Structure 1
Amino acid sequence: MLQKGNLTVKSDLTILNQVLQWFDRFCFQNKSKLAWLGKEYDGIKLAFDEGFTNAVRHAHKNLPPETPIDIELSIWEDRLEIRIWDKGKPFNPDTLPEPEPGKLQEGGYGWFLMRRLTDRVSYERCADSRNCLILIKQKD
């Protein structure tokens, strides 16, 4: 691992801009290690935005706003990894139907978007009763 950053925030969408600024700062401070991202940067940032937003809106929907969301960014030689932990109920996003072109459906677009913007997405239940969203962008 070349670099790692951690952030813990409360479950509140009003701080989304602060979370995204933290993401930008981390990536800017490590721009030489992430130069390979190039034009893919906006896409991975959007996937990160969607992951955080989903944790607040869905996983923590019925939890107090003080419920923490832990975030970790890790730069490796060949990839950028994003991990977002929530304390919501277990959920299998693979059960969401993929949106059909030209048809509207409620929900599922965020998961679809994250899968399109990253090389690997998983959402797993951890031993500590948290869930972890993992987004990975590989160096081409």
Structure 2
Amino acid sequence: METNLAPHNSNLQVVSDIDAMATVVEWFNQFNNTRISYQTWLEGQTALLEGFTNVVRHAHSHLSPETPVDLEVQISSQYFQICIWDRGDIFDLEAAIECFNQEINQKNFNPLDHESQWGCIFLLKLKKDYGWTISYIHELGNRNCLLLRKKLAIS
């Protein structure tokens, strides 16, 4: 479904408040178009909302609600990418995802026992089952970036 159009980039900055979710959803709706498949858009939207919620509830929980959250989407002929920048403490997302990867493979694993980690479980599923690349890196200026990227099929 991807077409060979010029790259598309968009940025949004919102405050660190769960009520900003409506603004985030409205902004992200612009990417529900023929440049990417509906499934890829829906996966990206779900990951964006999970990432934004985690910033508000965890990374920025000790900061002012006015602390900005920066969002960026890039679409090219090769990939669909979402970046979420926070100003919280660094978190080892890769270790958390790997931990759940091991736990999920155990017979007695029950996701309902891990409600506070559903985000990691969801990101693991995106990575394993849907081909997303996921990383969380600390950048200069005391910012962290959750990078979500999916390679697109070139038509």
TM-score by length of structure 2 reads: 0.79
CA distance in 1, matches of 2:116, 2:49: 16
> What residue in structure 2 maps to residue 121 of structure 1?
134
Q: Give the aligned partner of residue 27 of structure 2.
A: 22
CA-to-aligned-CA distance 1:97-133 (integer Å, 9 cap, x gap): 3153325135322022123225110000001110000
From the CA coordinates, give the structure whose radius of gyration is larger: 2
2:118 is equivalent to residue 109 of structure 1: yes
SS in 1 for 2:62: coil
Q: Deviations over 1:32-83 (max 9, x none)?
A: 322xx23232222111110111111110011000000000100111111000
The structure with the greater share of residues assigned to helix is 2
Unaligned ranges ≥5, structure 1: none
User: Out of 120, 134, 137, which is 2:147 matched to?
Assistant: 134
Report the count of equivalent residues: 135
**Which stretches of structure 1, 4 residues or longer, exceed 6 Å deviation after superposition?**
none
The amino acid of 2:59's aligned partner reads A
Matched residues in 2 for 1:5 and 1:58: separation? 25
Identity between Structure 1 and Structure 2 (%): 33
CA distance in 1, matches of 2:15, 2:72: 15
Farther off after superposition, 111-120 or 14-23: 111-120
User: 3-state DSSP class of the match of 2:120?
Assistant: helix
Q: TM-score, normalised by structure 1?
A: 0.87
Offset from partner CA, 1:11-46 (integer Å, 9 cap, x none):
000121221111012x14xx2322xx2323222211
Q: Counterpart in 2 of 1:33?
A: 35
Query: Does 1:65 pair with 2:70?
Result: no
Whole-Å separation in 2 of the counterparts to 1:57 and 1:128: 21
Is 1:76 aligned with 2:76? yes
Q: How far apart, in 2, do the equivalents of 1:44 and 1:106 lie?
A: 21
- Equivalent position SS for 1:7: strand
